[in-house]
Structure 1
Amino acid sequence: MRSSISDEEWERFLQEAASGADTAPKEPSARARMVARRLREEPDRPTGWRTYQLGSGPREKQRRTGRRGRKIWFGAGLLAVLGLVAVGLDPAGVVGWFPGGDGTHSGRQEGGTAPSTIVAQQPTLEEPFKGSPAQGWGDGLAGIRFPTARATGWMSKAQVDQALDRTRDFLSASSLDAGVLRGKRPDKAIALINPRQQDVQQLLRTAFRDPSRKNNPLLLFSRFDPAKVKLAGDVVKTRGRVTYKAGERGALQVTADVTYVYPVTAAEEGSDQVARTIVRRETVMSWDDPAKVRTQPGTFSVVSYKLDTTNGGCDRFNGYLNPKFGPGQPADTGNGPEVDPYDRSRPMDERMREAEGQGCGRASRT
């Protein structure tokens, strides 16, 4: 098909499109219109969301949180021409379309930075992770990387291996168990915590009876109020890792840093609005030498815990995660720094320091 404009005008169009000039022709050739339409209809173009984030107690820390782009040019020859046409027709539409298009990495690997602009594909009951990087994450424990056991501290290789297995059991029972997510008491997870660690036992006794900012069960467990919220499907997406080293008095110190993505919907019959609550939780556990520390064999002592949640409720401490649904979700009402809850490139300590004293912050998306 022959172009609808002259060769001279076509050349001027390409030059002005590259420079961003407003005088570029508004009606390029049919070929250009076809290419631009295909680019705009590409299903994986990203855009951004906003919402809340949550999470500071005595030894724990919590976080509460409620673009510039760059043009991407194709290679040489015809691709270069088509790329210039697309930018000339819709320069903003191409920005952030490819991995790294907003100046960040794709974030598909552990510790990577997820782009803050992803297409606003709304989650559904059939596809609750639609439009989320969590689509490519693992299901449940499969998304958590565990290390190879080796003799450490007072433990032999076999004992370390057993401690890692029980750490896995704790993560499952505290943050993935279907009954616990539906509001039940996490008895299996609690049974793995040293019953002789008085401060944590006091926290556990109070947290479920009279939850508060200080005594908050969410510091260690993920729970939703079954009268208001139900899970959208049986899958929880995860990304994280478990590491260990020698701790105090020869103990085995295990750190679990995991991000959980929970798809949920309102408990009302027939509700089909799906939201996502994102919880990043870091728990440090000490598997102590019974010869040096009062402990019960097969249990660990809690060294520290940190919590960072998105769309889980801000400054609301009723013992449950409290997601929002509908047009008002996600809301951008906080005054803290904006963060991407899928970004695992920074350690939790850094995230907590940044948010300290900020109150309710903001998340770029859920």
Structure 2
Amino acid sequence: MGAGTEPDGSSRSDEEWERFLRESVAGAADAPKEPSARARAVAKRLRAEPDRGPQGWRSYTPPQPKRRTGWYAAGLLASLVLLVIALAPGRIVDLFAGTDSPPLPAETTRPTQAPPVEAAQRPTMDEPFRGSPAANWANGAAGITVPKADAVGWMSAAEVERALARSRDFLAASALDRQVLRGQRPDKAIALINPHQKDVQNLLKTAFRTPSEKNDPLLLFSRFQPSRTHLVGDIVKTRGRLTYREGKRGALQVTADVTFVYPVTRADEGGDEIVRTIVRRELVLSWDDPDKVITEPGTFSIVSYKYDMTNGGCGTPTGYFTPPFGTDRQTDETGTQIDPYDRSTPVGRGEPSGDECRRATRS
């Protein structure tokens, strides 16, 4: 019998038997080994987890970061606010200042209707035009629109432009000058009136000394008595325009139609009651040809003057506007109603007009 015999009776070679004995002593290369403690723990955890099936080598999904919706929305809102401020800074200032609408464009033609009624808001010392259409009007002479100048009659385009500017200067000197508003004599305005126009010069001689219905300085000038009335702030709101055409004897005829809004308070008390005196003036001025009319260079003749006034007082002329305060407002609010901000209709008051007192439907 050889070195080894198989069950079927065949025998192994001596080399095979020797290899078998050697591997038995050293151990076979692919013989199973005892797993480590860590390997046993991992195997136990995997058996405890549910079977998720095989995962493809490209099916790995990285963990998603948490969405920060609140911060994203806040950042977007802040960006939009900065964009609005950059594009319309004036609008933002108006909102914080309490103005609900942007400033109105210049008036170039007569409007077709009255401005809309504002929400009822009481004026304050800091915001004296609050709750009034005038809150969106321009300040002072900036609210008086001056048209483009063309040659008219005896004047060249440059001369017409100069006459229009001086016409606006008269309005500023007669109705916007701070000293005049405080009751002083309007010397700058008077200097622009033709000194050879007798009827107007007669008015000026007596109006400031002994005012009457016929010779009342308020027909041409805006004045308040300092001992009774104080202006609130440094701003008078205005809205209006100048127009022109050729008048008699080739003269340049300029028409001014302007509304002035004066916020005032009582001078002798520390109260906060504010009344807005509103005056709309229509003046027709004639810049005459010195070869045809006796005049002085740089002066005009007054063809006509009209005005509507509310919250300026009634009764015997004093040469000053006398706004009603407190209980005086109840007795003063009689007569014809008028919307002082309605510039769509002609000026209704002329010279003189009796004791009628216009009552404002809003101020």
TM bucket, shorter chain? 0.5 to 0.7
Q: Which amino acid in 2 is paired with 1:131?
A: G
* Matched AA of 2:251: A
In 1, Cα distance between equivalents of 2:105 and 2:147: 21
Residue of structure 2 equivalent to 1:258? 258
- State how 1:48-197 maps to structure 2 within 5 Å: 111-114=111-114, 117-197=117-197
The answer to whether residue 359 in structure 2 is matched with residue 362 in structure 1 is yes
Q: Which amino acid aligns with 1:137?
A: W
SS for the counterpart of 1:244 is: strand
SS at match of 1:329: helix
Q: Any residues of structure 2 matched to 1:193-232 within 5 Å, and which?
A: 193-232=193-232
**CA distance in 2 between partners of 1:214 and 1:357 (Å):** 10
Question: Residues 324 and 332 of structure 2 are in contact (CA less than 8 Å); yes or no, is this contact kept in structure 1?
Answer: no
Q: Is the alpha carbon distance of 1:220 and 1:170 closer, same or farther for their aligned partners in structure 2, counting shifts above 3 Å? A: same
**With CA pairs under 8 Å and 6+ residues apart, which has the higher RCO, 1 or 2?**
1
C-alpha spacing 1:185/1:346, structure 2 compared with 1 (3 Å): same
- 1:307 deviates by 1.1
1:340 matched to 2:351? The reply is no
| 2:324 counterpart residue number | 324
| Structure-2 change in CA distance of 1:132 and 1:331 (3 Å) | farther
Contact residue 123 and residue 130 of structure 1 kept, 8 A:
yes
The alignment partner of 2:169 has SS state of helix
Q: Distance in 2 between the 1:108 and 1:344 partners? A: 13
> 1:247 corresponds to which residue?
247
Amino acid at match of 1:347: P
Structure 1 stretches of 4+ with a deviation exceeding 6 A read 106-109, 355-358
Structure 2 CA distance, aligned partners of 1:316 and 1:357?
10
Please tell me whether Structure 1 or Structure 2 has the larger radius of gyration of its CA atoms: 2
Query: If the length of structure 1 is used for normalisation, what is the TM-score?
Result: 0.66
Residue 330 to residue 235, structure 1, CA distance change in 2 (3 Å): farther
Amino acid at match of 1:341: P
1:262–1:195 CA distance, 2 compared to 1 (3 A): same
The residue matched to 2:142 in structure 1 has which SS?
Answer: helix
Closer/same/farther in 2, CA of residues 301 and 124 from structure 1, 3 Å limit: same
Equivalent position SS for 1:295: coil
Report how far residue 365 of structure 1 moved. Answer: 1.3
TM-score normalised over the length of structure 2? 0.67
Unaligned runs of 5+ in 2: 1-100
Alpha-carbon shift at residue 119 of structure 1 (Å): 3.0
> Compared with structure 1, are the counterparts of its residues 210 and 271 closer, same or farther at alpha carbon in structure 2 (3 Å cutoff)?
same
Cα distance, 1:358–1:230 mapped onto 2, change above 3 Å: closer
Q: Distance in 2 between matches of 1:107 and 1:213?
A: 37
- Please report how far the alpha carbon of residue 245 of structure 1 lies from its aligned counterpart in structure 2 after TM superposition: 0.4
Query: Percent identity over the alignment?
Result: 61
Number of equivalent positions: 259
